[in-house]
Amino acid sequence: MDFVPDNDHPLDPFPHYRRMRESAPVFHDEQSGSWHVFRYDDVQRVLTEHAVFSSRMGGDDPSETGQLFAASLISTDPPRHRQLRSLVTQAFTPRSVDALAPRISTLAAELLDGIASTGTADLIEELAYPLPVIVIAELMGIPAEDRNRFKQWSDVIVSQTRTGTENVDHHATNREMTEYFLAMIEQRRSRPGSDLISNLLAAEIDGQKLSVAELLGFCSLLLVAGNETTTNLIGNAVLCFTEAPGTIERLLAEPSLLPQAIEEVLRYRSPVQSMYRVTATDTTLGGLPIPAGAPLVAWIGSANRDERQFQRPERFDIHRGPIRHLAFGQGIHFCLGAPLARLEARIALTAVLSRLSGLSLAAGTHLERMESTIIYGLKELPVRWQAA
């Protein structure tokens, strides 16, 4: 059900979004049967009106990943969503996230130690990718030697979500990942620790605990949500900062601007460009009648560039002030990991700006987007700086 915006310019789908906002803000793709939503107000409605726009996408999806996510909170509606979310938030509190700050700083410093003297590196490979993986793996109590398998699994899941296709590799990966997490869950059941999986096993509401399927769904959701998205937020931020003249100097002179600069990156190059829903009832959107059971794609990346909502949306402007972007969604499914993603980005970018002086894209760099229409991020980010 993919609707590929513009195959020729994957890094710049934004002119295409603008055309759609003008000419077909709610677009019915006859071929796939799905509806594509491009304007801010409509995207906001689709994300927040959960009684009309259901998140139960996994329900009829025969793929194993569909089944994995079917049991996780991102694919459930109330009342089950409310129960799952409150179980999970018991284990994933803002306080437990804040407590990670010193460890994240150490990790970022260690990763930069490895490259600071070289003067050139791929920042995705050296920092933006490993940092969130290590953080989520440590949070879940995954042994360090298993981390590389994480990347392979999450890459496969992301490509699967993108193409909707299946092949033997996907099945094998899903099976391998499921077996790994099942073993981990059983191990923590008999020997609980202070990690997230142990906390999830202990969490209960009205005497009810998470089922094994729900625990598995949550582990795989974290694997994808915690890795690719935060990696791309950090990578997209470095791209935005090096692209807009004077930004790095401004941020160095006034570091307190960094959090709002990160919000502007989230708006301008949203790591998650679209989310799926399915209509639970007949409804009307943008003046068009949509029947029950229709698959929808809410284009967050387009909503965040809507000129009806933002002044001069095509301009990257770290002085924009409070930004009501939809990069983390809105409503009951608002990103559970937003505080962690913001914290990791702030720490990683502070380290980059302070240690890699004179940072710029490496000469002759040809940037390529990751092969996904949902996730927006770079395959590689070659940069250079004045080595210490």
By CB under 6 A, name the binding residues for ligand HEM: 47, 55, 73-74, 85, 136, 221-222, 225-226, 229-230, 233, 271-272, 275, 327-329, 333, 335-337, 340-341
**In the Cβ-directed half-sphere of 73, how many Cα atoms lie within 13 Å?**
22
Number of C-beta neighbours around residue 226 at 10 A: 24
User: Please, which residues bridge with residue 383 across strands?
Assistant: 121, 361
Pick the closer one to ligand HEM by CB: 201 or 385: 201
Pick the closer one to ligand HEM by CB: 158 or 221: 221
Provide the H-helix boundaries in the chain: 14-23, 40-48, 64-70, 80-91, 94-98, 101-113, 123, 130-140, 147-163, 168-190, 196-202, 212-243, 247-253, 258-268, 300-303, 338-355
Considering the complex, what minimum distance in angstroms separates the CB of residue 277 from ligand HEM? Answer: 7
Considering the complex, what minimum distance in angstroms separates the CB of residue 265 from ligand HEM? Answer: 9
Indicate the residue whose CB is closest to ligand HEM.
337
Considering the complex, what minimum distance in angstroms separates the CB of residue 13 from ligand HEM? Answer: 16
Considering the complex, what minimum distance in angstroms separates the CB of residue 239 from ligand HEM? Answer: 14
Considering the complex, what minimum distance in angstroms separates the CB of residue 97 from ligand HEM? Answer: 9
Considering the complex, what minimum distance in angstroms separates the CB of residue 271 from ligand HEM? Answer: 4
- Phi then psi dihedrals of residue 285, to 5 deg: -140, 130
Measuring CA to CA, how many Å separate 213 from each of 69, 75, 219, 331, 371?
A: 9, 13, 10, 25, 29
Distance from the Cα of residue 308 to its chain's centroid: 25
Pick the closer one to ligand HEM by CB: 100 or 385: 100
Pick the closer one to ligand HEM by CB: 174 or 274: 274
* Residues 186, 190, 196, 200, CA torsion sign: positive
- Phi then psi dihedrals of residue 312, to 5 deg: 40, 60
Pick the closer one to ligand HEM by CB: 70 or 385: 70
Pick the closer one to ligand HEM by CB: 116 or 180: 180
